[in-house]
Amino acid sequence: MSRLELAGLTKRFGAQTAVDALDLTVESGQLISLLGPSGCGKTTTLRLVSGFAIPDGGTIHVAGRQVSAAGTVVPPERREMSMIFQSYALWPHLTVAENVAYGLKLRRLPRATIDERVRAMLETMQLGPYAARYPAELSGGQQQRVGLARALAVEPKILLLDEPLSNLDANLREEMRHEIRRLHDRFHYTTIYVTHDQMEAMTTSDIVAVMRDGKIEQAGSPEDIYERPLSEFVARFIGSTNILRGRRAGEHVADCDGLRLACESGVFSEDGGAIVSIRPHRIVLGPPPEGEAGPNEAVGTVERAVYLGSQRHYIVALEAGTRLQVLASSDVLAQPSQRVGLTLPPGHCRALAR
């Protein structure tokens, strides 16, 4: 296990800056996800860490040893890292056991050591019965386990995963998310996990780093990123949210088209504008108030109602024209065109800076 430090890391492709003076520290044994949309720089960052790309600026250190700087890199094969790709990159002409042993043979380890590591890794991955099979004879999830077994068998200092579950169906992705976390809890490798899937990041990671335009917009625990976003971009990217805009009407109060919202967390911009985020499942749907709506209360009309099993998803149009998403329990019933009351609890209204 090794501490990984990226300082001012920069990579350009012509006039485009893919990674822009990025700073990131991954503590020994920690699993960090780089999460963001396509083109945000997360895969380029991973390629810089692995040594497959040369930075234009900044440095990369592993356990205090510099492995990358502008114009100079330690080759990938000398970094003691393992990388798992989207495509698994298994040798089709080798059996499962031979694929897992491949990196160990390159290191010229004794035969007995290779056999013992392969046996132990196949057992850990629940692949023992498939040792003599070829990749084409395996399911997608089994192939992914072979890729993980091969990467972990060489006992790398750092494990790198580049969207490893993107080729799996939804059920297999869910299964493998928990498998990756189980393996991390067992081996505690320093790990960087690149994904555009927020559920993967939330399920597997100690720290989630949300990237945008080559920079890290916010980094923190999954709970911190979800419950306490610092920007509209992070609030929208991590889960569904409602964004209301208006002006400040007090130190912690916003006026959004006549809807006064007290916010118990976050910070407004200094320019007098106000942006408020509230998650759909935090809004309480009920009958309209008998009198005037009070602070953090609104009246609207249901435009759409969708049954989701344990929940119902509503689109409610407020009288001022704003539309809010609401997730309610399945026993909370409302029909399209029905007038309803909404409560937006101050404890779940978060002020966002521009």
**Model confidence pLDDT, tens digit, residues 151-194:** 888 888 899 999 888 777 777 778 788 888 888 888 888 999 99
Q: Cα(334)–Cα(173) distance, rounded to whole angstroms?
A: 34
Q: Comparing 265 with 186, which gets the higher pLDDT?
A: 265
* Listed residue (261, 240, 252, 246) closest to 315, CA to CA: 240
Pairing of strands 311-318, 323-329: antiparallel
H or E element, residue 112: helix 111-124
Q: Token match 């083109």: residue?
A: 39
Residue 235: CB atoms within 10 A of its CB come to 26
Q: Is the pLDDT of residue 215 over 90?
A: yes
Domain ranges of the chain: 4-227, 242-352
pLDDT at 269: 85
Distance of CA 304 to the CA centre of its chain: 30
| Confidence grade of residue 62 (pLDDT, cut at 50, 70, 90) | very high
Comparing 79-88, 168-177, 199-208, 259-268, the range with the smallest average pLDDT is 168-177
**CB 336 within 8 Å of CB 302:** yes
Query: What CATH number does the domain located at 242-352 have?
Result: 2.40.50.140
**CB 25 within 8 Å of CB 60:** no
CATH classification for the domain delimited by 4-227, as one of 3.20.20.100, 3.40.50.300, 3.10.28.10, 3.40.50.150: 3.40.50.300
Write out pLDDT tens, residues 308-326: 999 999 999 998 789 999 9
- Backbone Cα Rg of the chain: 25
Comparing 121-130, 172-181, 256-265, 334-343, the range with the smallest average pLDDT is 172-181
**CB 104 within 8 Å of CB 113:** yes
pLDDT at 270: 85
Q: Cα(10)–Cα(109) distance, rounded to whole angstroms?
A: 37
pLDDT at 1: 56
- The pTM of this model reads 0.86
Q: Residue 101 in 3-state DSSP?
A: helix
Which residues make beta-bridge pairs with 16?
13
Q: Cα(311)–Cα(28) distance, rounded to whole angstroms?
A: 40
